[in-house]
Amino acid sequence: MSTEARSNFLKTQIQSDLDGGQVEQLVTRFPPEPNGFLHLGHAKSITVNFELARRFGGRCHLRFDDTNPEKESQVFIEAIQEDVRWLGYQWDGEVRYASSYFQQLYDWALCLIDQGLAYVCDLTAEEAREYRGSLTQPGKDSPFRSRSVAENRELFEGMRAGQFSEGSRVLRAKIDMASPNINLRDPILYRIRMAHHHQTGGQWPIYPTYDFAHGQEDAIEGVTHSICTLEFEDHRPLYDWFIEHLPVPHRPRQFEFARLNTSYTVTSKRKLKALVDSGAVAGWDDPRMPTLAGLRRRGYPPAAIRHFCEEVGTSRSDSTVDVAMLESAVRNELNDSAPRAMAVLNPLRLTLTNVPEAEQLSVANHPNNEAMGSRPVPFTSELFIDAADFREEANKKYKRLVPGKRVRLRGAYVIEADRCDHDASGAVTRVYARIIEGTLGADPEDGIKARGVIHWVSAEAGVRAEVRCYDRLFNDPNPGKNDDVMSALNPDSLRVIGDAVLEPSLVEAAPEQVYQFEREGYFVADRFDHSAERPVFNMTIGLRDTWSAANA
């Protein structure tokens, strides 16, 4: 089934709402907190909200829920916008911020106070936890719950004016301390924070909580379908309570779906930050990280990520998806879109004894797409092949170069190996071979066919490069099952090759251009470090799923 035709409960719900006239136009939103980099789990939320808006001719907003200034920054805001665009989406109108609604939220907090539905509480954080109760025990009323409307208004206005110290008071909703839903046990609406805000500066010494701001922001923006992950399902009664008791201009409805969980992956911001802070990875955009910045730097195509999210589908059942499904989507996308090139990662010198002069060969950029054209590849008497492609002795299963046997050089001639040189330790240092005349694009006339095909690069024209071979960051399929993610790290997740040899056309690669290195895998020109003077390529993914084979 195509992803366009794939159905899910959200599409069914929205179609029903449109057909029944409950809404005239769909409005969704992607509302990240600007306190970190987006990761693969966010990609699912992005695709859900933007694709639903596209499918039903609606609008999708990008809104930053920036109510926690200590952990937020403009750096994250800019990175998130770039990630959303890179993934292939553009939000409706200007970027929106919760902080733009701070005055309205403050006025609505006063509205709750005036109705006797909110009060200023002086309990310490520790005392508040004791009063809150537990999952099995009801909470008990704060001794400050009975303050008068006038006193609560005066105190809250004093909080707004900066008259009280940080942490000394909070504003709480007056709902039900005995509710089985702990979120309804007089939740905090405002707390004092003497923090500089990246949008409002020092204008506000108090900040609304996420729970108080979130639903009202949707109401202000006219969001019709507030689509959240399942962990917010228990918060929905609270959001509905606010909507019921405030003069909001619009009544959004919340729908929850299962978040994206993938094997061999951690998406906890806290645990990802620990990886960065410990030096286990080189930063938030390390190509082994599940952040969108990391996936981008590794060369994952945004189309493959979108396709993966659509293929996973949208349901209300939590499950873990095998990351091999994402890797398969990446291979499928790159198999069609990536031009081919040759690179030797473990060079062994090959001398062709009967090649008198160099020539330029024309090699197709893609075996199945003539529109991608061809490129000139210099062919000389001195080449590099991969050391794994030569053995002095081998059985019939080995389809590469052996003395007295033939292979074809990719896009070039059939050759036959004669002998080799060794160093003092016995390691092979050079192979000598002959081309079989008349085999450029043709089989040998003597009928003795090549055993296989190997790749190569001219030793004279080839370019030295750094190639970073990446693998999965974790050995454990469930690395987030405990706090000690370091114990699940794969020690072989990065191997840096400093003396790889590339065909000369690759120095012209633009940053983020992905190629299939023949017989090796897919590699991307690093978006920051690559240059013609110092080529740097990152391994995107191998040609085959070696993990599944190894664990079969």
Long-range Cβ pairs for the range 416-420 (8 Å, 24+): 417/390, 418/353, 420/390, 420/392
Known catalytic residue at 33 = yes
**Run of H or E residues at 64:** strand 59-64
CA distance 402 to 454: 12
Q: How many CB atoms lie within 10 A of CB 4?
A: 8
Handedness of CA 34, 37, 40, 41 (dihedral sign): negative
Helix, strand, coil shares, percent, the chain, to 5: 30, 25, 45
State the angle between helix axes of 210-221 and 102-114 in degrees (0 to 180), rounded to the nearest 10: 110
Extract the runs of DSSP E, i.e. beta strands, from 130-277.
Answer: 170-173, 188-192, 206-208, 225-229, 253-257, 261-262
State the Cα angle at 283 between 280 and 287, rounded to 5°: 85
Extract the runs of DSSP E, i.e. beta strands, from 426-531.
Answer: 428-435, 453-454, 457-458, 463-470, 494-502, 514-517, 521-525
Known catalytic residue at 269 = yes
Query: What DSSP letter does each residue of 20-49 carry, written as one string?
Result: TTS-SS-EEEE---SSS--BHHHHHHHHHH
**Catalytic residue (one of 11, 140, 145, 269):** 269
**Catalytic residue (one of 140, 259, 271, 273):** 259
Cβ pair 274, 488 in contact under 8 A = no
**Catalytic residue (one of 11, 33, 157, 349):** 33
Find, among 187, 203, 163, the residue nearest to 109 by Cα.
Answer: 187
Find, among 220, 137, 135, 215, the residue nearest to 173 by Cα.
Answer: 215
Token digits of residue 329:
């989507």
Find, among 300, 338, 229, 334, the residue nearest to 87 by Cα.
Answer: 300
Cβ pair 526, 537 in contact under 8 A = yes
Round the CA-based radius of gyration of the chain to a whole number and report it. Answer: 31
Q: Which residues are catalytic?
A: 33, 259, 269
